[in-house]
Amino acid sequence: MSTPLGVREGVALAPYTTMGVGGPARWFVEATDEGTLHQAVAWAHARGVALRILGGGSNVVVADGGVDALVVHIGLRGVSTREMRDAVDVTAAAGEPWDDLVARTVAHGWAGLECLSGIPGFVGATPLQNVGAYGQEVSDTVVAVRALDTRSGDTVTLSPEQCGFAYRDSAFKSREPGRYVVVAVTYRLRPGGAPTLGYADVARDLTARGVMAPTLSDVRTSVIAIRRTKSMVLDPRDPNRRSCGSFFTNPIVSSAVADDVVRRATDGTVPRWPQADGSVKLSAAWLIERAGFRRGQRDGVVGLSTAHALAVVAHDGARAADVLAFARRLQASVAERFGVSLALEPAVWA
């Protein structure tokens, strides 16, 4: 059954997510233009219905019982550019595939996004998560986020300061979740700029390939190759493909907690990265493995990726409840072994 707006009932959500689990949306609509998006928000408000926004589905776990809400699948497309003397502003609609945009900027020689190659999902999710990898975060380049304010019904343009960016976080995600629906994002890039080479893995891959003066394209090639070895690139042939990528964020803890982790580890090899505010970032993957789990370890139909300890994989027959139970087991083991809490990276829809 559908309405003139195109709202359908009982639409299965598992096919729209990379994890491939979970039940249906009570109501569902495809929004391929801003008018439809505005109408969908108004439709939900008029009926007192909860609203959920779905992009590429690479960072969400849908509960087995489904979602009692209107799920709006974002299909807004389009990319425009504005060139200035020393920069270029690239504005992409929320439904643009992220890696296609990165490939486009690299091909034009615009630096700033090259280390974010190979990440699945849509443009609209990048400011929510403050997506980052291999020494870059989108907050390094975002200059404006155009969004629909679901409270007022107005379309607004938010500055980076208003976005409240933090490590894998933003105001969209934690301060006012659900208030804004991202419509488009503007990134300020550097024409002819040098690539970012802050990560040892990238530098090693470039050296192994004999690349001494890497271009943006060289760095993109290395990043995708590294991600592929970790099953962090969507590939229908990959047995680890049904995942959300990193299921946990790397915990940022006080220096005292980090020192306690070192004491508990006993071997002195704890990877740790001091932060500007005196806190310390730890490796979630390292904590999981040292808590007694190994890559490829399975608990029935759910397990860790064979390529990376941060990825939880749903195998044939898995349900959302299985995925979340396994994740809780990982969290409990790390907390018991090291006294550190692991936070989920994907959103859980129930």
Question: What are the strands of the beta sheet with 67-74, ordered from one edge?
Answer: 8-12, 24-31, 67-74, 51-54
Is-contact 32 74, C-beta < 8 A?
no
Specify whether 328 is catalytic.
Answer: no
Active-site residue, 58 included: no
Question: DSSP class of residue 248?
Answer: B
DSSP H or E run through 90: strand 88-93
| Distance in angstroms (rounded) separating the CA atoms of residues 136 and 175 | 23
At 2, phi and psi to the nearest 5?
A: -140, 165
Cα–Cα distance, 190 to 83 (Å, whole number)? 10
Catalytic, out of 52, 96, 146, 168: 168
- Strands (DSSP E) contained in 173-279 are 180-191, 252-253, 272-274
**What's the CA gap between 330 and 345, in Å, rounded?**
14
Report the DSSP pairing between strands 24-31 and 60-62. unpaired
Q: Which of 30, 34, 176, 345 is catalytic?
A: 345
Which amino acid, 157? T
Ordered alpha helix ranges (H), 84-183: 98-107, 125-129, 160-163
Catalytic status, residue 168: yes
> Which residue pairs from 264-267 have beta carbons closer than 8 angstroms and sit at least 24 positions apart in sequence?
264/337, 264/338, 264/339, 265/290, 265/338
Question: Phi/psi of residue 150, each to 5°?
Answer: -70, -15
Closest-CA residue to 127 (of 153, 92, 76): 92
Do the beta carbons of residue 76 and residue 95 sit within 8 Å?
yes
Q: Which of 188, 246, 290, 295 is catalytic?
A: 246
Distance CA 93, CA 294 (A): 40
CB atoms within 10 A of CB 337: 16
- Provide the annotated active-site residues: 168, 246, 345
